[in-house]
Amino acid sequence: KYSLAFLSITVWHCQCVTLPQLLVRHGLFPTAPFQPCMAVSVELLVFYRAVFERSCDAINALAAVLHTHYTQ
Mean pLDDT in each 10-residue stretch from start to end of the chain (72 residues)? Answer: 68 87 92 90 87 73 83 80
Helix (H, G, I), strand (E, B) or coil at 41: strand
Per-residue model confidence (pLDDT) at position 49 = 86
Residue 6 domain-assigned (yes or no): no
Residue 52 domain-assigned (yes or no): yes
Per-residue model confidence (pLDDT) at position 11 = 81
CB atoms within 10 A of CB 11: 11
Split into its structural domains, the chain has a count of 1
From CA 34, how far away is CA 26, in angstroms rounded?
Answer: 17
Which domain does 37 fall in, by range?
19-70
Residue 12 domain-assigned (yes or no): no
Residue 37 domain-assigned (yes or no): yes
